[in-house]
Amino acid sequence: MRQTDFSYTVAKFGGTSVADYQAMQRCADIVLADPAVRLVVVSASSGVTNLLVELAKGQLTEAERLDHLAQIARIQYQILDQLQRPAQLAADIDDLLVQMDKLSKQRLGGLANGAISDALLALGECCSSALFAELLRQRNEQSLCFDARRVMRTDNHFGKAEPDLTALKQLLEQHLQPLLQANRVVTQGFIGADSEGNTTTLGRGGSDFSAALMAEALQAEVLAVWTDVDGIYSCDPRLVTTARPIPELSFDEAAEMATFGAKVLHPATILPAVRCGSAVFVGKSRAPEQGGTWIRKEVATSPGFRALSLRKQQTLLTVHSLNMLHARGFLAELFAILAKHRISVDLITTSEVSVALTIDDTGSSGSGASLITPELKQELATMCRVEVTEQLALVAVIGNQLATTAGIAKQVFEVLEPFNVRMICQGASPHNLCFLVDAQEAEPVVQQLHRTLLDD
């Protein structure tokens, strides 16, 4: 049973969709065309988070730091100027730019500091949400900008904080939901706050995840993700020119695609939708009339081969130990150490005395290799010999009944004949067949597979 008698659509607009004033106007057209859209979640304007990430590293020269700040100010002022610089908004944006200056100065030459970094990264979304709420008001809409940190309670793992779903639901019902009747509420994706009020972020691309969690907390009927492509394609269209948008995907298929590298959705986006049963739509804010992809529990077709995903910068960890031979508990011990170091394992294959696994680096800015710290290596060395291989790419073939249909492996591996396949995982899920290849071979592999398995 839904708790509300009104069915909400939560609309999320990504960075390119709110890149400038004209792009924001197109988002406003989409919002105003649908009375069900009461909550709007925005990313930072395109390019801003990348600049903030550089500032947060604290390794720029003073001239570079000032140049980065000037680039961000230019992006925000272009929008502010076209909004005719309302006094309060201009003061708010200037205040956010001053905070960027201060925090980036604090980061200069300093040791890594997650709290300062996240406070800095969050400012991009703070700017775009304030600007977009004003733009809606100028289109005669009752609208306000709501600070997501009031509801998006997380733990304090800066850079990749984990939301507390119970707190989010309770805070959202208390502080945000009552505003939705009278206002179109604009809030920030990507950002949250821990229980002490420190700003946190959910990892790169996290605005999709924020929107999905808010849609779940609101029990929204639809989560609409507006981006720069007209749907989820059979492969990243930047990689395969013949890739085509898929009109309808099941939750399972979409979750596999997001998990295995289809950047169009943050990997964690689908789970909240599955839990609350809302449909997810992915469309292009520049051309909403082109339609997009609907992701639902039940779909009309379930083809064997649906799509391909590619995840670069993969790190393979191979551990060898003779103690594994006929032993009990070796894997449990290995996984306990990895869990203690907050490493989430992705693919895994085992032999009698070795285990090979890839590391899930979802949302982190670096590759999995940066998660393998000297402390982790030291601890693993007490029980096994460890080998780390970088420069790999993970290719996922996504579809249905892949593990139970005769001939699937043959079709895939015939294409792979000229390439060196480093590791293969099949059988755990009916929806994927994954393997690792050398990074430089990844694109030809994916292009060749698409030609054979998915081109008409």
Question: Does the annotation place 358 within a ligand binding site?
Answer: no
Report, in Å, the least distance between residue 223 CB and ligand ASP.
14
- Number of other CB atoms surrounding residue 302 within 10 Å: 15
| Complex with ligand ASP: residue 190 or 233, whichever CB lies closer | 190
Footprint on residues 121-140 left by ligand ADP (CB under 6 A): none
Question: Does the annotation place 264 within a ligand binding site?
Answer: yes
Place of tokens 């790190």: 315
Contacts of residue 182, Cβ cutoff 8 Å, sequence gap at least 6 = 142
User: Cα separations (Å) of 249 from 95, 216, 298, 416?
Assistant: 43, 19, 8, 26
Total residue length of the chain: 456
441 binds, among ligand ASP, ligand ADP, Mg ion, none (CB under 5 to 8 A by kind): none
d(CA 20, CA 23): 5
- Number of other CB atoms surrounding residue 403 within 10 Å: 14
Place of tokens 């006929």: 326
Question: Does the annotation place 57 within a ligand binding site?
Answer: no
Report, in Å, the least distance between residue 400 CB and ligand ADP.
17
C-alpha triplet 456, 284, 72: angle, nearest 5°: 130
15 binds ligand ASP (CB under 6 A): yes
238 binds ligand ADP (CB under 6 A): yes
Report, in Å, the least distance between residue 46 CB and ligand ASP.
9
363 binds Mg ion (CB under 5 A): no
Helix (H, G, I), strand (E, B) or coil at 204: coil
- Number of other CB atoms surrounding residue 439 within 10 Å: 14
| Complex with ligand ADP: residue 246 or 317, whichever CB lies closer | 246
Question: Does the annotation place 362 within a ligand binding site?
Answer: no
Alpha helices (runs of H) in 108-189, residue ranges in sequence order: 114-138, 165-171, 177-180
Size of interface with ligand ADP, in residues (CB under 6 A): 19
**Which one among 264, 356, 376, 397 touches ligand ADP, defined by CB under 6 A?**
264
Footprint on residues 151-210 left by ligand ASP (CB under 6 A): 189-190, 204-207
Applying CB under 6 A, the residues found at the interface with ligand ADP are 14-17, 43, 205, 227-229, 232-233, 235-238, 257, 262-264
Residue set of the binding site for substrate: 49, 125
Applying CB under 6 A, the residues found at the interface with ligand ASP are 14-15, 43-44, 49, 124, 189-190, 204-207
